[in-house]
Each structure stands twice: as C-alpha cells, then as structure tokens.
Amino acid sequence: MSEINNNEITNIESKKLDSNGEEIVWEMKRSFSIGNKIYRIYFIAISIIVCSIITHTIFWTASPLNGFRGLFLILFVLVTYYLFLSGILKLFNFKRLYITNNYLIIEKYIGKKAILQLGSFYAHSSRLPTNPSSPKLTKDLCFTFFLQNNEFRIDESNLYYVNDIQNIHELIDKLNALLKPHITQ
C-alpha cells in the first residue's frame, strides 16, 4: 500500500506546475545560443546605423528645421526611433511560453504576462500547410497568436524546447495534439 502512495507522490512531484498550481503540459523558453546572440547583436547594430544615418541626414544636412517641414522631419525621426526601439524591446522581452490544461501563457521580462484561454485565440504558422483541409504547423515554427487587438508573434530563432524534444517534427506533432481539441473551423 505504501508503495502505491510513494508512486503517486513521485508522479505528483515530477509534474511541473505554474504559479497558479496548474500542471504545465508543454513549455518553451527563450534560447541563449550563440547564433541567437549574433542575430541580436546584428539587429542592434543595424538599428543604430539606420537611426544614426537618419539623424545625421535630417539634422545636419536638412537645416534649418523650422515650420511645418521641421515638425514633419522631427516626427519622422521619432517614429523611426520608436519602430527600432520597440523591435529591440520585443527581441529581448520574451521569457517563455507554456500551455496548461486550460491556458496558453506568454511570459515577458517587462510587462504583464499574457494569459490566453485555449480556444479564445487562433495560432497561425508562418508557412501554409501542404494540405489546407488539415490545419497543422509546418516545420518553420513561427506562431502568431491573435486575441482581440493584440498580436503575439513568437519565432523559432528565439526559443529552445524544454521537454527534451530535439526533433522539430515531434514538437509540431505534440503542439498539434494539444491545440487540436480547441481548433474550430
């Protein structure tokens, strides 16, 4: 009898739980591989170069900045900086994504985590499936989750897989099995 209880306790302890006590069925965390670090450095360098060129062009060669022309150019610079800085923030802000029995949770370093009830959003792969009648993620794993007016895009290049899934096809099959009961046509 105690042997059965010990097995039950071991099974309960081996299950990973989130902060609300729900079992985590599947989890993906951010990758810190060398390739991803090089990509991030490349993106930041390109952002700095483009912003520097725009700043130099507008403020030093398009002087004087007065009137409507000056206001337009300053707004253009601010919008450009916003686009690049928000891209950098999105590049570094993703922490992890996991699925419980009822929810898909996207954790970020800055800001609140997004909690999406399964069935309340739709996921879309970056490539169209070969058979349009069966929605299935393709080998280029890239999710876009849409909920109300929010879009969460998660790219394979920023992630690694926690459940010791090395083969991308196994990962895709597991995700399809988890999300299929909640897919409506």
At residue 179, the pLDDT reads 66
End-to-end CA distance of the chain: 48
Mean pLDDT rounded to a whole number for the chain: 67
pLDDT at 100 over 80: yes
User: Are 61 and 109 in a shared domain?
Assistant: no
At residue 69, the pLDDT reads 76
- Going by pLDDT thresholds of 50, 70 and 90, the confidence category of residue 183 is low
Backbone angles phi, psi at 122, to 5 degrees: -130, 145
Q: What is the DSSP string of 98-142?
A: EEESSEEEEEESSSPPEEEETTSSEEE-SS--SSTTS----SS-E
Least confident range of 15-19, 77-81, 153-157 = 153-157
What CATH number is given to the structural domain containing 167?
Answer: 2.30.29
- For 146-152, what is the mean pLDDT? 48
User: Are 118 and 174 in a shared domain?
Assistant: yes
Least confident range of 44-48, 90-94, 119-123 = 119-123
Domain limit, last residue, from 44, 76, 92:
92
CB atoms within 10 A of CB 26: 19
User: Are 59 and 101 in a shared domain?
Assistant: no
At residue 164, the pLDDT reads 42
- The percentage of residues in the chain with a pLDDT greater than 70, rounded to a whole number, is 50
pTM of the model: 0.53
At residue 49, the pLDDT reads 92
User: Are 88 and 109 in a shared domain?
Assistant: no
Which residue range is the domain that position 44 belongs to?
A: 35-92
Of 102, 92, 100, 84, nearest to 16 by C-alpha is: 100
